[in-house]
Structure 1
C-alpha cells in the first residue's frame, strides 16, 4: 500500500513518542508539531503541582548553606571558607549544591541563585570527621547531601517497616484461621503432592495423631481455593497463545505456529515493588554522586566512589534528560517529580534434567538496594516467563535437515525468541516515553519512566537478544565494531554500537536487490536482518546495557576455557602435572575457598572452583616453569584484573589501575607464542572499566546472581508431570512467592506484638542499644580450653605440634609482663593462670568500602582432623603490614586478678630469595626462629601464606588474592 502524500516513513530506531520542547510532555509523533506551535504562542496552561521535588528542593535551596570543598592537593581560601556546623548524630546533611557542575558531562547546568552564606561557625562546631563518604543527590531530587563518617561507629542499618496484610487484625488472611495458613505454608515449602496433602488432612481430621483438629481446610480443593485467594496478593501469571505466521523456504516449517505462553506483566511487577512500603527504605529514586573525603577543619575530596547503579553515569544522564522540577520557566516544570526506573533483565537457559532445558526470564528493579534486590524474598528477582519454542522447533533434529531447512529453523527460532520477548516487554515501551504517575509506597506521587539498563546473559543469549551473528562472525562484539582479527588487542578502541547506527545498517541491507549484497551489508556489522526489541524504547540502549559478567567472561572464559586449559596441557607436556597437584594439595585451608587437591585430574564446570584455582595457582606453578615465564605474568595480570573488577565498591583510582592491569595482561598474553588470544571473551576485558563507570560495580551485572534461581527451576520441574511443565512451574512459583510474603507478614505481626509488650513492661520507655565505644576491643576469643596454671600449660604445649617454640614459655611470659606491665610487680613465685582458645574473631574496617568485616582465625591442633594455625597481619612500628603465625591464643590472669589477651606468634621477615619469575606485587617472607608475644590489640586481620615449593629452606608467599581487602591492603591501594 502506498503512503499518503507528504508523510515520512518511520524508521526502525525512531521512538513512537516525542517530548515537547516547550512543556516537556510526551505526545504521539503525529501530533507533537502542532502542539509545540500552540504551546509557543499561548504558553502551557497546565498547573505545575508542588510535588516532592519542588517543595523539598526549594526549601533546601533557601535554607541550606553552600559548602565550598577542596580538591585533593589544594587549600581553600580563608576568606571563602565555610564549614558546616556539626550534626547531632553521625549524619551531616548539607546542601545539594556541593557540586554545581556535577552534571557537566550532560551540558551546562542552568544558573541558580546561590543561597546567602551564613555566618562562619566556630571551629568546634565546624569540625568534620577525619574521613567520610559524602553523597550529593541529583539536582532534580531537591534532597540535601549527607555525610557518613568512617572514623567511628557506622550508621545503623536501615530498618524495614513492618509489613501489614489485608487485615491487620488477621495477618494470615485470606486463610480463615492461623492453623490453615501454617499447614498450607508447610505443604508449599515442602512441595508436597496432592496425594501427600490428602493423606495428612485425612489423618488430622480423623484424629489419628492428636485431638480435635483446628484446621478448617478439609480437602485438597479447600487448600487450592485458599491459595488462589492468597495469590491475588502478588502479581499473577497470565496465559496467552502467541501465533507466528511463517512463510519459510521449505514446507517443513511453513505455516502457523502456536505457543502457549505464561507470563507476568513486568509493569505490574514494577508497580507491586513501587507501592510496597516495606521496600521504601531500600529504594533510591534519584541518581547521586559519592565521594571519599578527608575532613577536620577543611574538606578534601580524595576520590569519587561508585557502587550501586544510582551512583553511576547512565542513571545520572537519564535524570538530566527528565523534566526539571526547578526549571526557571514554570510551564516547563512537571506536575510531579519524574524518576527513572532502571531494570535488570536476566536470561539464561539451564539444565533441569538430563534431557530437558528451561529458559527463564528474570527481572530486578535497580532502584532497590542490592542487599534486597540480589537476595531471595520480597523485592528480589521476579520470574517473568519461560521462553518456549514452537513444537516444530523443539522436535526438529538438525542432523536430518537440509541446508534450506536449517536456515528456516534458525529464522523461525529468531522469530519466536524475539516475538515472545517483545510481547513480554510491550507494557514498558510506551511508558518509557510517556511515563506513568502513581502513588509510591511512601505516599508521594511521582512519574516513573522504566528503562532497561543492565542485561545479564552469556554470549549465546546476547547474540540472540541483539539479533547478532555468532561469536565467530566478522564483527561479533556486542559493544563495538572490532574486527574478528583484532580481538586479541586490548590497547585499541573501536567504534561503539548504537541503536541508530545498527538500524541504519539494517535499512541499508534491505535496500539491496540480491541476497548476497544484503548479507554482505549485514555481515559488515555482524547483524541478522531484524529489528532489535529495545530500538523503540526510551532510556534503553541494548548495546550499552550488555554488561561485564565475571562468571562467564573470567572464571568460565579467559581462565577456565583458555589459560587453565593451556596450563594443563603445558604441565602434561613437561611431565610435571603430578608435582603441581602435590603443591596445590599442600596449600593451607581458608574460609570461602575450596581446597583443590589434584586440579589437573578434575573437569571443572563451576565458576567458583575456577576462581579459587586462579587465586591460588602461582605458588604451586612458578617453580615448574622457566625463568621470566610470560604465562606467570599473564596469570598474575589476570589475577589483578579479576580482583579489581569484582569489587563491590569502585573508585576513580581503582578504575585507572584496572586499565593498567589490562595493558599488562595484554602484553603478557602477546608473549605466549603458542596460544591464540583472538577470542571474544578476551576482547571484552577492554569494556569492563566503562561498564562499571556507567552502570555500577560488577556484582549488579553478573549472571551469578541468577544462577541460584536455576536450582529453583530444576526443583519446580521435578514436581511437574512434564507435560506443559512451564504452566505448572509458574503456579508453583506463585504459591511459593505468596506464602513467603505471608510468612513475612505473620512474622512482622509477631514482632509488632513483642515490641508492644516490651514497651508496656518498660512503662512505655524505649531502651536504647548500647553504644560502641572507641575502647571496646575489636576481637573476641572463641572455642576455649580449660583454665590451667602456666606450668601445666607449658607442659601441654611442649607435647603439641609446635613444641620447639614452647621451651621456656613460663619465664618468657613473665619477662614480657614485667616489661609491658611494670606496675604488676610480678615475681617468679607469682601465680599466673592461662586459658587458651582455639579461635579468635577479629573485627576490622575493610579498605574496599570502609564497612566492618570479621575474620575467624584458627589456632587449633586438630581442626577437622588437621592442624591449623592461621597467620595474621599486625601493626608494628617498622612495618604496618607485619606478618606472624599464631602458635597460641590465650588469656593470662595474674595474681592481682588482672587479665590480658595475648597471642604467641612466629613472626615473618622479608626475604632476599626470589622465585623463577617474580610477578608484579610478589613478596617473599621467611619465618623467624623464635616465637614472641603479641598483644591482640595490634592484630589487624588474618593473612594467607603459601609455602614456596621446590626450595630446601622455608620461604612463604603472602597471597593478596584471598579477598578484596587483602588485595588492596598488601598492594597499598586506597
Structure 2
C-alpha cells in the first residue's frame, strides 16, 4: 500500500510517494525545544496569586469567603512569594484586566437605523488576525500547521484512489491557493454563531461567535485544548418589538445589526485579504498570508437557486448561487422606484436589503462556504415500546422512553434514530401498518446516508456511494410524503431536507463533514454558560490560557531536571511514540484465581460450561501444537479439576486499524455479569484461518499452562444457518444471524 501526495502548483511542493505505513503528512514532535514564557502568570505578581484567584472563582466563593481566603494565605505565605491582594476587589479587578490583556476583546457600539431612528447596541469582539497570529506563534501548535494544499491518493492494490478528510485536502483550499501569488499561503477561518441562551445568566448579553483555524488538523481544531474553538465576539441581542416583530423591515433590521457586527469582527481581515500579510513563522521563514472563511447560515437554500416550493424535491439539482450574482440582484432591487417593487425583486432570490458582511473579504463567496450540518439534521420516529429493554450499546445514550422528551440535544435524537429500527420493526410491519413500515424504510436509508456523511475520510468510492444513498433516501421519502398526504398535514417543504443534496459537494470542496459541523461548537455551550453563571466576567475565561502556559513551564523545567540527571536520555521524549508498539489486546478487571471445580459449579445452570475442563484441555493441546509451543512434559494437556490456574477477566481492550480512517483505534469490550447493574456480554468478530465467525463472549480468562499464560475466551458462535432471507430483512437491510446450540460454545485465543 502506498500514498501519493501532490501539492498545489503555487505551493512549490513536489509530488512524492511513500509506503502507507511510513506516510506522514507533517512532522508532529511531541514537545518543543523552544523555552516557554518564564513568567506565564503575568500580570499577576506570582504563580501563587494566580492560583489563589483561580481557586476563589472556580469555587464561587462569595466576598466574605474570598476575604477570609486572602487573610489565611497572607498568614501562610512563603518567604519566596508574598500575596499582595487586600480584598476581593483586587481579584475581580485583576481578573477583568487579564481578560482584556489575554483575550484582546474590544468594546464597540453598533448603530443601525430603523424607522428613521438610530438604535445602538454594544458589541464585544476580538481582533481575528491577532488571535490567529498568536496561534501561529505558539511553538506547541506551529509544527501541526498546514499552509499548502494537499492532494492525497491511496493505492488499493490496483490503482490510486483520491481521498479527502481535512479542509486543506479538498477543492476549495486548492482553488484559493491557486489564485494567490507564488508563495502565498491561505489562512482559513471557520466561524460559527448560534442563539444559545447565554443571555439568561447574570448581566451577560450576547450570542457567542466561535472561531477555529482550518490550517490545524481536525483533532486539534475540534478539541477543547489549545488551538481549539475560541470565542472571538458576542453578537448583540435585538429585543423583540411586538409592534414590528412580524414586519419584513424588522427582520431586515435584525439582520443588519448582525451584519454590521460581523463587519467589525472581520475588520482586521478585510484589508489583509486584498493585500496579504507578511508573517515570520517559527521556522524563520516569511510567508504572505491570505484569508478565506466559513460560517453556518440558513435561508430557504443559501447554496443553490432552488424555488421555495421545490425544497422537498431532493431528486432535482439547481444552479448554485454566487456572491457576485447576489450583488447584482441587490443593485437591480435598489434601482426600483418603490419599496414594494424592491421587496418583490429580493424575494425572488431570498435576499434581504443589506450588504453581506463577508463581501469585504477577498476570495470570499459566502454561498459556497455554507455547509450541511450533521448535528442539526436528524429524522426520527419516536416509539417507546422496546426502548427500555434495548441492549446497551457503547457511546449511545439509552432512554427508557422517547415520546415526551424536552431537550434540544441533537446527539440524543441521533442516538434514538440509530435504535428505532431495531426497537420497532416487529411492531410496524408491512401488513399491520404499511405507512409506518414505509417510514422505517426511509429511516433506514437515512441512517445509511448519515453514516456516509459522518465518515472522517472520504474516497471517490465513498462519495459515489453517498450520492447513491441520497438518491435512494429521496426516492422512498417522496413515496412516504405522497402516501401520507391524506393522513398528515406536515409540510415537508423545508430547507434542512433540501440541504442533503449538497452534502457530498461540501465534502469534495471542504473535506469531511466533521470539519464544519456544529458539534465541536455545541460542546462549548455548557462551559460558556458556566463561566457566565460563576465568574461574572462574560467576555472570556482568560485563566485557561495562563493555566496552559504554567503547565508548559512546569513540564519544561521537569524535563530539564530529568535530562540533567540522565544526559544519555535527554532526547528520548522528543521521539514520537509509535502506536504500533502498543499491545494488540489487553485484558482487565481481573477476579481471583479459581479452580475448574469452582467455575463449573458457579455455571452449573449454563450448558455452555458443561465439561468446561475437558474441552479446554483438548483445545489447549491442539492450540499449543498449532503455534509450535512445547506441550507440558511433552504430553497432552491434562489440567485437573482442583488446579487453580484460571483468572476470570471482565474487560477487554483491543487496538485495531480502522477501515474508515486507516488509523489505530481502541475498542472496549465487556464480559461481565453486572455492568452498570445489567449483564453485559459483548459480541465479537473472530478471524480464523478459513472464515470470520460472529459470536458472543461468554467467559474471558487467563489460563496458566506450565510456564505459559494464555489469554482465552469462551464464545457462543452465531453462525447457524438462517434459511431464506425474509423480505423485510431485505427492505431494512438487516443481516440476520442465528446462534448455534449453546452447548457448542468454543474456545478461542484472544
TM-score between both structures, scaled by the size of structure 2: 0.89
For this pair of structures, how many residues does the alignment match? Answer: 721
Listed as ranges, the gaps of 5+ residues in structure 1 are 1-130, 249-253, 325-336, 464-475, 569-576, 722-727, 938-974
Q: Quote the offset at 1:164 in angstroms.
A: 4.6
State the alpha-carbon separation in 2 of the partners of residues 773 and 221 from structure 1.
50
Q: Which of the residues 298, 303, 320 maps onto 2:161?
A: 303
Q: Which of the residues 498, 504, 522 maps onto 2:322?
A: 498
Q: Quote the offset at 1:927 in angstroms.
A: 0.6
State the alpha-carbon separation in 1 of the partners of residues 579 and 425 from structure 2.
47
State the alpha-carbon separation in 2 of the partners of residues 773 and 754 from structure 1.
25
Q: Which of the residues 315, 336, 345 maps onto 1:521?
A: 345
Q: Which of the residues 708, 727, 747 maps onto 1:898?
A: 708
State the alpha-carbon separation in 2 of the partners of residues 153 and 511 from structure 1.
58
1:854 and 2:666 equivalent? yes
User: After superposition, what is the alpha-carbon deviation per residue over 1:885-933, rounded to whole angstroms, capped at 9, x for unaligned?
Assistant: 0000111112x22222111010012522536353353200001103433
Q: Quote the offset at 1:206 in angstroms.
A: 4.7
2:561 is paired with a residue whose SS is helix
1:723-742 counterparts in 2 under 5 A? 728-730=537-539, 733=540, 736-737=541-542, 739-742=543-546
State the alpha-carbon separation in 2 of the partners of residues 377 and 191 from structure 1.
23
State the alpha-carbon separation in 1 of the partners of residues 364 and 388 from structure 2.
49
Asked if the contact 1:884/1:906 (under 8 Å) is kept, the reply is yes
The aligned counterpart of 1:179 is 48
1:832-847 counterparts in 2 under 5 A? 833-847=645-659
The aligned counterpart of 2:67 is 198
1:756 and 2:626 equivalent? no
Asked if the contact 1:374/1:381 (under 8 Å) is kept, the reply is yes
The aligned counterpart of 2:191 is 345
The aligned counterpart of 1:663 is 471
State the alpha-carbon separation in 2 of the partners of residues 351 and 444 from structure 1.
44
2:746 is paired with a residue whose SS is strand
Q: Which of the residues 163, 178, 181 maps onto 1:323?
A: 181
The aligned counterpart of 1:359 is 207
The aligned counterpart of 1:140 is 10
Asked if the contact 1:623/1:916 (under 8 Å) is kept, the reply is no
Asked if the contact 1:244/1:256 (under 8 Å) is kept, the reply is yes
Worse overlay, 349-358 or 867-876: 349-358
CA, structure 1 residues 633+833, in 2 after alignment: closer, same or farther (shift >3 Å)?
same
State the alpha-carbon separation in 2 of the partners of residues 287 and 152 from structure 1.
20
Asked if the contact 1:887/1:906 (under 8 Å) is kept, the reply is yes
Q: Which of the residues 763, 774, 780 maps onto 2:586?
A: 780
User: After superposition, what is the alpha-carbon deviation per residue over 1:367-392, rounded to whole angstroms, capped at 9, x for unaligned?
Assistant: 12222222223222222221114xxx
1:798 and 2:610 equivalent? no
State the alpha-carbon separation in 1 of the partners of residues 534 and 669 from structure 2.
43
1:925 is paired with a residue whose SS is coil
Q: Which of the residues 871, 875, 879 maps onto 2:683?
A: 871
1:418 and 2:259 equivalent? yes
1:433-448 counterparts in 2 under 5 A? 433-448=274-289
Asked if the contact 2:36/2:556 (under 8 Å) is kept, the reply is no
Worse overlay, 687-696 or 621-630: 621-630
Asked if the contact 2:163/2:457 (under 8 Å) is kept, the reply is yes
1:441-590 counterparts in 2 under 5 A? 441-452=282-293, 454-457=294-297, 459=298, 463=299, 476-552=300-376, 554-555=377-378, 559=379, 564=380, 567-568=381-382, 581-590=384-393
Worse overlay, 482-491 or 492-501: 482-491
Q: Quote the offset at 1:689 in angstroms.
A: 0.4
1:56-67 counterparts in 2 under 5 A? none
The aligned counterpart of 2:128 is 266
User: After superposition, what is the alpha-carbon deviation per residue over 1:615-669, rounded to whole angstroms, capped at 9, x for unaligned?
Assistant: 1111222222233832222111100010110121111110000000001101111
Asked if the contact 2:449/2:470 (under 8 Å) is kept, the reply is yes
State the alpha-carbon separation in 2 of the partners of residues 215 and 238 from structure 1.
30
CA, structure 1 residues 240+777, in 2 after alignment: closer, same or farther (shift >3 Å)?
closer
Worse overlay, 582-591 or 834-843: 582-591
State the alpha-carbon separation in 2 of the partners of residues 279 and 829 from structure 1.
57
Asked if the contact 2:207/2:235 (under 8 Å) is kept, the reply is yes
1:690-709 counterparts in 2 under 5 A? 690-709=505-524
1:616 is paired with a residue whose SS is helix
State the alpha-carbon separation in 1 of the partners of residues 567 and 35 from structure 2.
26
The aligned counterpart of 1:605 is 408
User: After superposition, what is the alpha-carbon deviation per residue over 1:758-782, rounded to whole angstroms, capped at 9, x for unaligned?
Assistant: 2222243447589979897511010
Q: Quote the offset at 1:363 in angstroms.
A: 1.4
RMSD: 3.0
Q: Quote the offset at 1:869 in angstroms.
A: 0.7
1:241 is paired with a residue whose SS is strand
Asked if the contact 2:717/2:746 (under 8 Å) is kept, the reply is no
Asked if the contact 1:163/1:745 (under 8 Å) is kept, the reply is no
Q: Quote the offset at 1:227 in angstroms.
A: 4.5
CA, structure 1 residues 456+163, in 2 after alignment: closer, same or farther (shift >3 Å)?
farther
State the alpha-carbon separation in 2 of the partners of residues 516 and 228 from structure 1.
49
1:320 is paired with a residue whose SS is helix
TM-score between both structures, scaled by the size of structure 1: 0.69
CA, structure 1 residues 832+523, in 2 after alignment: closer, same or farther (shift >3 Å)?
same
State the alpha-carbon separation in 2 of the partners of residues 412 and 281 from structure 1.
44
State the alpha-carbon separation in 2 of the partners of residues 885 and 497 from structure 1.
53
CA, structure 1 residues 813+770, in 2 after alignment: closer, same or farther (shift >3 Å)?
farther
CA, structure 1 residues 373+193, in 2 after alignment: closer, same or farther (shift >3 Å)?
farther
1:592 and 2:395 equivalent? yes
Q: Which of the residues 362, 369, 379 maps onto 2:217?
A: 369
The aligned counterpart of 1:118 is none
Asked if the contact 1:287/1:310 (under 8 Å) is kept, the reply is yes
1:3-82 counterparts in 2 under 5 A? none
Q: Quote the offset at 1:512 in angstroms.
A: 1.9
The aligned counterpart of 2:443 is 635
State the alpha-carbon separation in 2 of the partners of residues 634 and 808 from structure 1.
48
State the alpha-carbon separation in 2 of the partners of residues 376 and 603 from structure 1.
27
The aligned counterpart of 1:957 is none
The aligned counterpart of 1:651 is 459
Worse overlay, 683-692 or 586-595: 586-595
Asked if the contact 1:840/1:858 (under 8 Å) is kept, the reply is yes
The aligned counterpart of 1:88 is none
Q: Quote the offset at 1:703 in angstroms.
A: 1.4
Asked if the contact 1:245/1:256 (under 8 Å) is kept, the reply is yes
The aligned counterpart of 1:911 is 722
Q: Quote the offset at 1:864 in angstroms.
A: 1.9
State the alpha-carbon separation in 2 of the partners of residues 490 and 401 from structure 1.
35
Asked if the contact 1:904/1:931 (under 8 Å) is kept, the reply is no
Q: Quote the offset at 1:537 in angstroms.
A: 2.2
CA, structure 1 residues 793+211, in 2 after alignment: closer, same or farther (shift >3 Å)?
farther
CA, structure 1 residues 508+773, in 2 after alignment: closer, same or farther (shift >3 Å)?
closer
